[in-house]
Structure 1
Amino acid sequence: MDSKSQYGAWMLELANYFVKEHGYQVITISKNQAEMWLVNVENTKNPIMMITSEPIESLDEMLLLKHRQSLSMVFNVPAQGINLSVSQENDFTNEKNIAIGPDYVSDEAILRDYPRLKTVLKHSQNPERSLNKALNGLRRNLQKAQKQAQRKLLPVTSTIGTVLLVVFLISRILLTQGIKLDVTAVMLGAYYKRFMVDAHQYWRLITAGFVHIDFFHLMMNLIALRNLGTIMERVMGSKKFLFTLLAGIIFGNMFVFITDEAAVGLGISGGLFALMGAMIVYLYESGAFKNRRMLAQIGNILFINLFISMLPGISFMAHLGGFIAGILLGFVFSSRPDWLELRKYMTFLFVGMIVGLAILMTQRAYTEPDLVFDKTVIKAWKDIGLGRYADWLAHRLSL
C-alpha cells in the first residue's frame, strides 16, 4: 500500500494538472486535509471537482453534496462534477466517482475530456520529496492561473485594482517633488468641498474613490476589493458590479458632503461597503447564509471591511453612505420572483435618496475656506507646469 505522503503528492499533482491544463482553480471549503476542491466556471460539464486520498466508498455523499451546493451558489455554476480518488483501495467506482493511479483510471471515458489524466501520476522512491515538489509546482501554477483567471473572469475588479495602483504610483511621484500629502491627494482628485462648491468640481464625488496616498490603506482596500470581487462580480455580472461600486463611492461622498465630516477625503471604501451591503442581500436571497462554512468564509471578508472602517482617519459617513447604497442595489438587482414588488419599492427608494441627497447638498453648500491650503494647491499646480489650470482655479476661488 502506498504511503500517506505518496497519496498527498498524487492529490497535488492531479490538482496541478487540472489547474495548468484545464483552467480550474483550487478552492478550500473543507477542513479535511484528505480532500481538495476545484472549480472551473467555464466548464459546463464538470464545473466542480473533488480530489481525495480516501477510498470512494468511505465518502459522505450528503456532505459532498452540501459542499457542491455551497460552491454552486458562490460561483454561480451547476452543482455537478466528478469525485476523483487516488487511493489504491477503491472497491466502488462509477462515471462520477473515479479511481486514479499510475497508468490507471477506473473509467476511461473521462479521458475524452482530460486526455492526459492517465499519465499524470507516477510512483516515487521518495514520496516526501515528491510531495514538496508537487506543492511547489501547484503554488507556481496557481499564482499564474489566478492572475489569468482574475483578468478574464473579473475584468472590473482587475481594472479597478490596476487604476488604484497607477494613481498611487503617481502620488509617489508628486511626493518626491516636495508636495505635501493632502495637497497631493487633492491634486489627484480627492474629495475637497471647497473646490467642489466654488470651482464646481463635483466629479470629485467619484474620483476621490480612486485616490490612495497611504500604502497600508491601499493594500487593505485592494485585499477587500479582491475578496469582494471574487464573489460579487461573478454573482452580479460586471456591469451591475461596477454600478454598485461607483454608486457606493458617490453615496459615501455625498454623505460626507452634507455632514462636513472630512476636509480631504479619499479611498474606495465607500464602494467596498456598497459591495458588502449587496453581498449581505445576496446571502439572504440565495440562502447561502444557512451554510456555516460558507458563512464563515464570507464573515472573514466582512471582518476585513469592518476593520478598515475603524482605522484612524477613515470616514464613517462615507462607509455608511456606501453601505446603504449597496443594500438598496442588492434588492434592486435581485432575481427572486417573489421580490418583484420589493424591487420596485427599492428602486423608487434608491432614486429618491439620490434626489434627497442632492437637495441636501445644495442646502449645505457653504464651507469655510482655508486660504492657505488653497493657495498651496494652486502653487503646486504651477510648480509642475500647469500654470493655466492654476490660474483658472485661482479665478474660480477668487484668490
Structure 2
Amino acid sequence: MKKRTISQTAEPSPQAFQSKLFSNIDQTQFPCIAQLNTNIDVEPAYQSVVTGYKTFKYSKPFYVRENDGVLPEVTVAYETYGELNEQKNNAVLLQGGLSASSHARSHPDNEEPGWWEKFIGPGRALDTDKYFIICTNNIGSCYGSTGPSSINPITNDHYATSFPIITIQDMVNAQFLLLDHLGIEKLHAAVGSSLGGMLSLASAAFHPERVGRLVSISSCMRSHPSSIAMRYLQRKAIVTDPNWQQGRYYNTDKYPKLGTKLAREIATLTYRSGPEWDQRFNRRKIDENAKPSLCPYFQIESYLDHQGELFSTKLDPNSLLYISRAMDLFDLSEPFGTMKKALARIQIPVMVIGVQTDILFPCWQQKELADCLQDAGNQGVSYYELNSLYGHDTFLLDLNGVGAGVKGFIETDNSEKGRVVKGRNDHNRDRMSF
C-alpha cells in the first residue's frame, strides 16, 4: 500500500493561517445586526392617529375585576356604520382582535381601509343597509380608548404600568356602558373573532338579555396553555428590551422597538399556517445571488421582519402586555363556578367557526365550545369548520367562508338548529367534561 505523505512545508504558520482566516472580515460581518444598534427607536404617535372615531366618556370610577383595580374614568373610542332604526333593534356589535382599532371600515372621516373592510357595507357580511354596526377600540388599547398610554387624570401622567390588570369581562362592561349611552337595550348580534370571539361569548354570558345572537370565530371558552405560552414569549420580548424601562418609556428618547418587533414576529408564527408559507415562500431566497449569512436570507425571514417592523410603529407595547394578559386570564367559567353554569346562560342562536389550519386557536377548541353549549341546553348552535390556508388570520381574509357564513347566520331566523358543517378533520378530541 502506497503511503500518503504530508508535506510539512505546505503547512502555514499560525500567523499566516490567522491572517488568511480573517482577511475577508469585512465581507463576513452582518450588517443587519450592526444596523440594530444604530436604529433610533422613536415612540410612535399612536395617540395622534386619526381614525375618525367618536368617543364616549364614563366619568365615574370604573372598577375592574382583578386586584381591586379601579380607573378614575374610562373613555371608549368607537365607530359606526349604517343607521340605527327607530326601534333600536338592528345593532350589531363587532368585536375585534388584540391589535384592532375601532376602524373596521373606511368612511368619509377616514378613507383608509379598515381591518374588516370587505366584510362591512351594503349587501356584505355585515349589511349596512340592514344593520347598525358598532366597533369599539377595547380598553387597554391605544387608539382612543383608555389604556396604559392614556393620561391618568389624578396624576396628570401616563398610566404606564400603574394601569390595572384588566379582563375580558372589563372590556365587555365598557362596551355595554357605550350601548347604554347609545340607548341600545338589546343587540341584534354580537360578532367577534379571536379576542373578539372571547368578547362576544362573554357579552352573551354576562348580558344574556341584551344579546340576540352570537358569532364566535376562531376563539375559545377558556385560554389553553399553548396560546398562553405564545403570548408569554411576546411579553418577555418586550419587557427584556432595555428600552422598556419598566413601562415608563413615554416621552423619553428610548422606546422598546426591538422587543415589540420581535413580539410581533413571534405572534405571526401563530397567525398564519405552514401550508400557506410552503405555497407562498417555499425555500425561496431574498436574493438568489447573495451568499449565506446570519442576516435574513430566506423570503420567510424577510416577511417576518417586515411584519414586525410594521407592528412596532403602530401598537403601544404596554397595550400588548395588558391585552394579551387579559386573553390569558379568560376562562368563562370562573365568575359562574362551572363552565356548564356559564354556558347555560347562553340560550340564543350561536354560530361557532373554526379553521383547520389555526395554530393559535385550533379548531378542536371551537368544536369543544359548540359541544359544551349544546350540553348546556342550547339547541340553536351551528358549528362550521373551514379548510383554509390562512390559519388564524382566515377571519380577516376569507370572504366566501367566513363572510358568507356570518351573513347567512345573522340574517336568518335560525330555524335550522344544531347544524354542523365541516371539512376533513384529522384531530379527534374527546368532548370536555364539565
TM range (shorter): under 0.3
Which one has more relative contact order, counting CA pairs under 8 Å at least 6 apart?
Answer: 2
Q: Which has the higher strand share?
A: 2
TM-score (structure 2 length as normaliser): 0.22
Please state which structure has a larger fraction of its residues in helix. 1
